[in-house]
Structure 1
């Protein structure tokens, strides 16, 4: 069975939390060969948007309300499990997150820290680059902003 969910940290089951953290570690630490503090303390204040299929997390991001990472609301830890890429899940994920931010949290400005190679992808959702390219954990990033 496949379904989308968005939950606050305290609403996640232990199995959901474990599956989310496993996928985040697999993508951001192992696949990208980037040892960094994946557990940064922001999950408690975040909403977790994910698609589960047959007990696996196949797409995920976290929605950070204003004041958690930036003065503005934010989206982070965006991932699609490797063998599910190229199926449009990232677009669905972003659309759902933006709709949630605008309709449920009534946010009009969203700031993200994007890997530089994804600037065109995020640009297609209305995000604009607001910084020079910089290295974060040895990966080129840019800051981007979307205003409603």
Structure 2
């Protein structure tokens, strides 16, 4: 895909326009499409690296990397999404690969933890994650905890 730009920001360096676009996308995907009833914005947002993928200025994909010790002992990837217009193009895999590389640089020799929707288990396994523990319900959706060992 041409004209795709990836940007890393801490919350304090995001423009109000960029943060608004992220929150609209998160509400659209998680609240409207997946009908998750919890408040999406949380205190973890202030302790994250936010990765946006922009195509011609439009938010195409997003995820956040929660600092180690904030949610789990390890850095954690969460709120992974691709907006509807950009699905089925491999962008989810691409943005995850960028996040994994970023974590290897920012937090060397640390594993990565995720709480994944169960149906995405094969997707995350292909990225090197392995299931740890049993499946559990979170906001009515079956999830599994997964861990990716460090590269060192």
TM-score, L = length of structure 1: 0.96
How far is 1:56 from its partner? 2.1
- Tell me the SS of whatever aligns to 1:42: helix
Aligned partners of 1:21, 1:107: CA distance in 2, in Å? 31
Q: Does 1:94 align with 2:96?
A: yes
Match of residue 41 from structure 1: 43
- Kindly tell me the number of residue pairs found equivalent between the two proteins: 148
**Kept in 2: contact 1:46–1:63 (CA 8 A):** yes
Structure-to-structure mapping, 1:127-142, within 5 angstroms: 127-142=129-144
1:103 aligns to what?
Answer: 105
Which of residues 76, 85, 91 in structure 2 aligns to 1:74? 76
Structure 2: runs of 5+ lacking an equivalent: none
Unpaired stretches in structure 1, ≥5 consecutive residues: none
Shift of residue 107, structure 1, vs aligned partner: 4.6
Q: CA deviation at 1:2?
A: 3.1
Separation in structure 1 between the aligned mates of residue 34 and residue 109 of structure 2, nearest angstrom: 31
1:30 and 1:55 mapped to 2: Cα distance?
A: 23
Q: Deviations over 1:87-111 (max 9, x none)?
A: 0101110000000000123252111
Q: CA RMSD in A?
A: 1.0
